[in-house]
A and B are shown apart, each in its own frame.
Chain A
Amino acid sequence: MTAVTRRPTLPARALLAGVLLLLVGGLVITLAAVLLLPPLVDFLAANTPLVRFAVAALVLLLITIPVAFIVIYMELKVIARMNLRVGPDRVGPFGAAQSVVHGLKVLAKEDFTPFGVDVAVYTLAPVAVFLTTLMTILVVPFAPGLYGQDFNIGLLYVFAIGGLNVVGLMMAGWGSFNKYSLLGALRAAAQAISYEIPLALAVVGVIILAGTMSLNSIVEQQAGTVFDWNLWRQPLGLVIFFIAAIAEANRTPLDMTEADQELVAGFATEYSGMRFGFFFFAEYVNVFVVSCLVTVLFFGGWNAPFDWPFPVAIDLDPAGYEAWLAFLLVAGPIVGTVALAALLRFFVDWMRWPGALLIAFLLVNLLAVGALVGLAFVTFDWVVGLTWMMVKSFAFVFTFVWLRATLPRVRVDQLMGVAWKWLLPAALVNIFVTAAAVVLVWG
């Protein structure tokens, strides 16, 4: 062996760079924090609505990313199991990181603008499509007091924004220099506007019962047990709303807009890279939003299906713990780190002790900070409400995936016929039956 000075390995170099960055960055950040934080905190304290908006916007924007990944993973795995396949099982536990890899792949793909397209319209189309989906999340009540904004015209806002979706699809089809895109967009527009009507008319019964369009009030009005949900008072409305919602979210069996086999993906034919990705990002988020709406309108939103028999009150008094508090503070992180590291070491094949300890340390810190922040800011109502809301919503996301795995695509003439000849009259009948019932009961 000749004495060759070996260059440090890549992880070592990365670590070195990281440490240097941490030292310099830490100094700069500390200085900046000392100098800038007090006036900043004063400013924010004086403008709490601004802070609320910033937090709400940030959370609602960022929540779309994990939601889309979960829906894509469900799509891959659930359909695979229904087809008696295994589905993704390589990346992450049970292949759960597969959708993240898909997302990163689309992000890293070349974003190519073909010849002959109207560049401005072509670029703004995915923005318009995704924005309409984002805007709808703004009014969804996730838990008592946990929502972007509560409008008194909430439902009307949802349908107004949902109608704008058509504009984005038409922009995509018209902006692309492609006949398939144009035909796909025209079909998409025809389908979306046809199903918009039954979708909106199906909830009139709910509005009559609630006497308001605010989504929060509609949920509050369904408080109680399972039997207080609108599901029992509006069964026909629920069926119509759900069918129309499938069409609005462009899901199989009513997905004439994409129709991969007939229109080579319809309006998205000419798109590539992230601009293409946003159409499908929007679709998956839309599935979630529509599921949330079904839950809010007909399944009691964040209300639990039964009265919780055990009253829960979190009443922490750290000073009362005396010596135990010191023990908790000192021993807790150490024991937690070692325990987590041991778990990682023995259940993850490629994990070795140093790495396991490092990751466990980071995780424990994250958990501790999360628990502290949670205890400080999150009320128990939020946790319970959010849990029920998510359980119900993802049950409907599952139903959407299930439908896709089970049913073939319907023919375009049948699709349009059902909207105008069956759903629309049925929705009108539903309105009058509800109105008559209300007159009989309250009149």
Chain B
Amino acid sequence: MEGIWYVVGFIVAGISFIFLVIALSWLISHRTKGSRAKGLPYESGIDTYGDTHGRFGVSYYMYALLFVAFDIEVVFIFLWAIVFRDLLMGGIVSMGIFIAILMLGLAYAWRKGVLTWR
């Protein structure tokens, strides 16, 4: 239980460290209000047009979906790995079934061309 307080305390300490450095930088750096041209987004010299948060490829979502499935799988496999010494052969069989089902999903995605970047 002591560990969780380390995490919480470390988050607080880390955030204060970062903001202290940013505040120090703010104190010693020079500041200008700047002109309109200075504040424009840098897109290689061409004036920006249209909505920045526009449309982008659906493949990013596909990877995210695959990631969610496999990351949860990772959590299960980690727990299985810890107790593996007590399971031995039975552990291999049950994990084999579990992963085979997941692999079916991956094979389907592979076949559908999700894994090929477009």
Please list the residues of chain A having a beta carbon within 8 angstroms of any beta carbon in chain B.
49, 53, 56-58, 60-61, 107-116, 126-127, 130-131, 134-135, 138, 148-151, 155-156, 159, 163, 174, 176-183, 186, 189-190, 193-194, 196-197, 200-201, 204, 207-208, 211-213, 264, 269-270, 273-275, 277-278, 412-413, 415-417, 420-421, 424, 428, 431-432, 435-436, 438-439, 442-443
B1-44 contacts to A, CB under 8 A, are 2-3, 5-7, 9-11, 13-15, 17-19, 21-22, 24-26, 28-32, 34, 36, 38-44
The answer to whether residues A193 and B26 also contact, given A115-B40, A180-B43, A269-B42 and a CB cut-off of 8 A, is no
The 10 closest A-B pairs by CB, nearest first: A413-B117, A274-B25, A115-B39, A207-B81, A193-B67, A178-B41, A149-B6, A57-B13, A200-B74, A134-B14
Q: Are A213 and B29 in contact (CB under 8 A)?
A: no
Chain A binding site: helix, strand, loop or mixed by DSSP? Answer: helix
Question: In whole angstroms, how far apart are the Cα atoms of A63 and B22 in the complex?
Answer: 18
> Which of these, A111, A186, A435, A443, contacts B25 with CB under 8 Å?
A111
Question: In whole angstroms, how far apart are the Cα atoms of A90 and B59 in the complex?
Answer: 48
Question: In whole angstroms, how far apart are the Cα atoms of A413 and B114 in the complex?
Answer: 11
Question: In whole angstroms, how far apart are the Cα atoms of A278 and B110 in the complex?
Answer: 38
Q: Separation in Å of the A278 CB from the closest CB of chain B?
A: 7
Question: In whole angstroms, how far apart are the Cα atoms of A134 and B103 in the complex?
Answer: 35
A-B contact count (CB 8 A): 202
Q: Smallest CB-CB separation from A439: which chain B residue?
A: B88
> Which of these, A182, A193, A274, contacts B63 with CB under 8 Å?
A193
Question: In whole angstroms, how far apart are the Cα atoms of A438 and B11 in the complex?
Answer: 39
Q: Are B117 and A111 in contact (CB under 8 A)?
A: no
Q: Smallest CB-CB separation from B44: which chain A residue?
A: A264
Q: Smallest CB-CB separation from B9: which chain A residue?
A: A53
Q: Are B106 and A432 in contact (CB under 8 A)?
A: no
19 A-B pairs within 8 Å (CB atoms) are namely A49-B2, A53-B5, A60-B10, A111-B25, A127-B18, A134-B10, A149-B2, A149-B7, A178-B43, A178-B48, A182-B52, A193-B64, A211-B85, A273-B25, A273-B29, A274-B29, A431-B81, A438-B85, A443-B88
Could you say which residues of chain B place their CB within 8 Å of the CB of A413? 116-118
Asked if B77 CB lies within 8 Å of chain A CBs, one says yes
Question: In whole angstroms, how far apart are the Cα atoms of A56 and B14 in the complex?
Answer: 12
Q: Separation in Å of the B6 CB from the closest CB of chain A?
A: 4
The answer to whether residues A108 and B10 also contact, given A149-B3, A178-B41, A179-B52 and a CB cut-off of 8 A, is no
Count of B interface residues, CB-CB < 8 Å: 68
Known: A177-B41, A178-B41, A278-B22. 12 other contacts (CB 8 A): A49-B2, A60-B10, A107-B21, A110-B30, A111-B31, A115-B39, A115-B40, A150-B3, A178-B48, A179-B41, A190-B63, A278-B21
Question: In whole angstroms, how far apart are the Cα atoms of A207 and B79 in the complex?
Answer: 9
The answer to whether residues A442 and B38 also contact, given A57-B9, A135-B14, A424-B70 and a CB cut-off of 8 A, is no
Could you say which residues of chain A place their CB within 8 Å of the CB of B110? 420-421
